[in-house]
Structures are given as C-alpha cells and as structure tokens.
Structure 1
Amino acid sequence: MDFLDVVVARVIGIEVDLFHAYARVVSETDAEALHDFRIGQRRLRSLLKTLGMKSISADLEKATSAVGKMTTPVRDLEVMAEELERHGLIELAQLRRLKVSYWYKTADENPLIRGLFTELADWPDTFRREIGYIHIRHLKKRTTRSISRQLQRLSLALSDPAHDRHDIRLRIKHARYSQEAYPELYPLPGHLLSELKKLQSSLGSWHDCHQWCLKAKVEPDLEALIATWSQAKSEALQAAEQRITPLAVELAKFLELKAT
C-alpha cells in the first residue's frame, strides 16, 4: 500500500469511528459518546493539518472546525456535571445534564454535523483526483518534515521557562495526534510518548480548574468550589512543572540523534 492509500484508509477509519460515536450521541447510550466524537474530529484535523494539503482539505477542515466549536460548550457542560457529581452536588449536576440531553436529542438534525459527514464522504475521491503526480511523489517526505518541525517547535517551547503553559498543552496534544495519525513516519520512543501524555494530563487538569474558577465568577451556584478548584489548579501546575524540564531534555536528545 502506497502512502496515498494509507492516508485515505486512515481518513475512512476515522469516518467509521465518527459514525459510531455519533450514533451513540443521538441514542444517548453513554457519557463518553460526545467525548469520543470530539476525539475523532481532533484526530481528523491533526491528520489533515500534518498532511499540509490545504487546497484539497480546506472544506473538510472547515467543517470539522465548525463542529468542534459547536460541541465545545456542550462537552464543557458534560464535564462540569461530572465534576459536580464528584463533589456530591447532584442537583447542580442534573441541571447541566438536562441541557446536554436536550442537545443530544437535537443532534440528529444538526446541519453542521451533516455537513461534516458529507465532506468526509467526498474527501477520498477529491484527494485522489486533485493531488497530482508531483505531490504524490513527495507526499510522504513532506508529511514527515511536518511532523519533525512540529516536534522541534514543541522542544523549543518545553525548553523555554517563560513559554505559555496553555500553548505547551496544545502543542503536546497536536504532537500526540500526529504520532497516532502517522506512526510509521517519525515515531517517538514509547517512554517519550508516555511522558508527553502525563504532562498533557497534568496541564489539562490545570487548565480545567482554571476555566472552572473563571466560570464560577459568573455562575453563582459554583462559588462554593472556587477554593477547591484553586488548590487543585496549583497542585496540577506544580506536577506539570516537575515534568517539563526532564521531558525537554529527553525530547531534545531524541531530536538531536534523529538529525545525525
């Protein structure tokens, strides 16, 4: 199988996963359905952006981005409900779950989601038709260079004590999705992937707590948890900071060896 076929096969695989997650969403079968649907969108966007064929993938990327933005507040409500339940605030959680459930019930008619699936269905044929012989010859090399540059930028960010931690979280997320999309092109050692995942988790917890504290300022029923979230935020950031420097050293060593 040549690399063009690999790309198409992986896009179709993500399409299948999205359909499956979407069916769970509209049927309200489980609490992870929307999360899995959004993960599939992120995997797709990472695959397309790393590929770098903007002229061919622009419509699909736009459709994916639109659905991602549209589902973000719904997923935020879902996560908040889980957090409130964890603290025993069942009534407050239920208020938010009712809003989530209403969105689930209307998702089947959502034009943005339908548009995403239409673009997904059309993309493989468009990709094969439009890519051209020159691009086919260099597609694998270009994608490999894209992953390499992505990791180089992440390495620089990790090595900079002043670099925005939210940006580092996003760079790690993109790097991990690129590894998943094209594991054969520029594979990271297992221990590095594991450390990236742990750092992303710590920074994710820090980010969540920060957002919840901000939300509590405009939603009075959350005020009682501000102190708890502030403490958790500090602990998560401390855990992240302890991982950043060792990871920066390890990633820099790996990239240096790859360059020789």
Structure 2
Amino acid sequence: MSDFIEDCLERVLALQVRLYSCRARLIDCTDAEALHDLRVALRQLRSLLRPLRGLPAVDALEQGAAVLGRLSGPLRDREVLGAELERLGLAHLAPTADAQRAAGYAAIAHSRELADLLLLLDGWPSSWREAARQGQLGDVEKRIRRRLRRQQRRLARALREPEHDRHRLRLLIKRVRYAAEAYPRQSCLPKVAQQRLKRAQGALGDWHDHVQWLAQAEALSALRPCRAAWLQAQQAAERRADDALLALYGDFPSEDKATFSPPI
C-alpha cells in the first residue's frame, strides 16, 4: 500500500482505540469529558471518511458513526446547558441530575449503535487492504481533493446567498474546517483561512446554543430567569458571527469572481 493509504488505515485504527477508551470511561463515569471526547472522535472519524464515500466499507462505517452521533447528541446538549446554568449560578435548574446523567452514559456505552460501530471498525483493516490490493484506491487522493473543493465551493455559494441561513452556514463551515484538519495537504486551505473558519464556527456555535436555550426557556418556566441574559448573549454572538462570516469572503471567493454586496 502507498504511504497515504496506510496512513488512512492507521488513523482510523487510532480513532477506534479512542472510542474503546471513551466507552470504558462512560461505563465507569470517571470524568465529565468522556461523552465530549467520544463525540470528538466520531466527528474526526466522519471527517476522514466523508471524502472517501463510495469506496469499500466506507459508507457503512460513516453511517454508523453518524447514527451514534445522533444518539449521543441530546445528552451532550444537556451537559452543555448544565454547564451554562452552573456558570450563571443556577445549577439547580439543570434538566439532568447526576444519576440521570450516569444512566445516560451507561445507555450510550452499552448501546447497540456503539457495538455495531466497533464491529464495523474491527472489519475495516481487512476491507481497506483488500481494496488496495484490487487497485480500488489508486486515485484516492484525487478523489479527496475533488470532494474537498466541492465542499469549499458549496460554502462560497452559501456565504453569498442574499438571505443566508446561519444554521446551514454553521454546518458547511464545520465540514470544510474538519475536512481541512483531516486532510491538510489535499484541502489546500492556508492556516489563516482555517483560523477564520474556527472563529466563525465558534461564534455560530455560541449563537446556535443560545437560540436553542431561548426556545427551551419559552417552553420551561424554570428556565425563564435566564431569558434576558441569553437573549443579550445571543444577539452579541450573532454580531460576532456576521463579522466572522464577512472575513471568510476573501478565503472562499465566488466562482465567477464577481463583485458582491455582503448579505449582512
């Protein structure tokens, strides 16, 4: 196998080891970062696999990581909300008690979704090596570069939509940024562009969190004391996000290089 193909294999195997470690930490409830670390490993796995879609064993593995990500998302959202309430001195309003959180960790650790993903990862090395032997990975770097360019063009178009959707931009920015981290040489994104992506993602993520919390404050009377502070923070995050999006225009120019007016 080429060095690049071998490197892809080793990186997936390293993420498998991290997932096993996270599962053990979730079962033991040894720390508060286990679920977050599990989700980071899943995100890195999906970022590695997404440009490889269509190759042997990739689609099922990427889908398995996506399913587990969706399963673990609500509990992670409750963790983030709990941390925010603690920061405001309102930890008693947190929607998930310690016992419930521990039960949630155990449910994810023992879930069929995680077991299925680890089983798929066990079969990954043989499938990947067989694909290499059969010559199915000969143009893998070209495939990755092509798909990463497509992602970047999609982001460039979204940045210029007159009525831009911050939710969609947040997802597109995450994909482009994480793909560049997974494949820095193939993405051809300079460091300054990656830093601007990180800044925009952070501001949009902060804005998104506050949008979600405000919706919960409307539905749950116990959270209404937080509403004024959250609304102010959401508006500030929105302004930071718009400034960060403006800064991305030069890094992701329109395909026709036409002059445009920022949709902000």
**Cα distance, 1:106 vs. partner?**
3.8
> After superposition, where does 1:70-81 map in structure 2 within 5 Å?
70-81=71-82
**Cα distance, 1:42 vs. partner?**
1.2
**Cα distance, 1:83 vs. partner?**
0.8
Matched, 1:119 2:120: yes
Partner of 1:175: 176
Q: Root-mean-square deviation (CA), in Å?
A: 2.2
**Cα distance, 1:3 vs. partner?**
2.4
Partner of 1:63: 64
- Tell me how far apart the structure 1 counterparts of residues 98 and 179 of structure 2 sit (CA, whole Å): 33
Partner of 1:220: 221
> After superposition, where does 1:1-260 map in structure 2 within 5 Å?
1-53=2-54, 56-93=57-94, 95-130=96-131, 133-252=134-253
**Cα distance, 1:131 vs. partner?**
5.7
**Relative to 1, partners in 2 of residues 1:69 and 1:54: Cα closer, same or farther, differing over 3 Å?**
farther
One-letter identity of the residue aligned with 1:21: C
Question: Secondary structure of 2:137's match?
Answer: helix
Question: Secondary structure of 2:187's match?
Answer: coil
Assess if the C-alpha contact under 8 Å between 1:78 and 1:97 holds in 2.
no
**Cα distance, 1:143 vs. partner?**
0.9
Q: Which moved more, 1:190-199 or 1:161-170?
A: 161-170
**Cα distance, 1:37 vs. partner?**
0.4
**Cα distance, 1:153 vs. partner?**
1.3
**Relative to 1, partners in 2 of residues 1:4 and 1:33: Cα closer, same or farther, differing over 3 Å?**
same
Assess if the C-alpha contact under 8 Å between 1:10 and 1:181 holds in 2.
no
Assess if the C-alpha contact under 8 Å between 1:81 and 1:96 holds in 2.
no
Assess if the C-alpha contact under 8 Å between 1:28 and 1:104 holds in 2.
yes
Question: Secondary structure of 1:249's match?
Answer: coil
Structure 1: unaligned runs, 5 residues or longer: none
Q: Deviations over 1:167-210 (max 9, x none)?
A: 11111111121112112212311111111101100000000000
Question: Secondary structure of 1:217's match?
Answer: helix
- Tell me how far apart the structure 1 counterparts of residues 54 and 14 of structure 2 sit (CA, whole Å): 19
Assess if the C-alpha contact under 8 Å between 2:203 and 2:237 holds in 1.
yes
Assess if the C-alpha contact under 8 Å between 2:47 and 2:175 holds in 1.
yes
- Tell me how far apart the structure 2 counterparts of residues 120 and 148 of structure 1 sit (CA, whole Å): 28
Assess if the C-alpha contact under 8 Å between 1:203 and 1:237 holds in 2.
yes
**Relative to 1, partners in 2 of residues 1:149 and 1:108: Cα closer, same or farther, differing over 3 Å?**
closer
Q: Deviations over 1:214-234 (max 9, x none)?
A: 122222211111221111111
Structure 2: unaligned runs, 5 residues or longer: 258-264
- Tell me how far apart the structure 2 counterparts of residues 15 and 39 of structure 1 sit (CA, whole Å): 12
**Cα distance, 1:66 vs. partner?**
1.6
- Tell me how far apart the structure 2 counterparts of residues 94 and 171 of structure 1 sit (CA, whole Å): 30
Assess if the C-alpha contact under 8 Å between 2:48 and 2:182 holds in 1.
yes
Q: Percent identity?
A: 36
- Tell me how far apart the structure 2 counterparts of residues 42 and 3 of structure 1 sit (CA, whole Å): 21
**Cα distance, 1:67 vs. partner?**
0.9
**Cα distance, 1:134 vs. partner?**
4.6
- Tell me how far apart the structure 2 counterparts of residues 48 and 22 of structure 1 sit (CA, whole Å): 21
**Relative to 1, partners in 2 of residues 1:238 and 1:185: Cα closer, same or farther, differing over 3 Å?**
same
Question: Secondary structure of 1:251's match?
Answer: coil
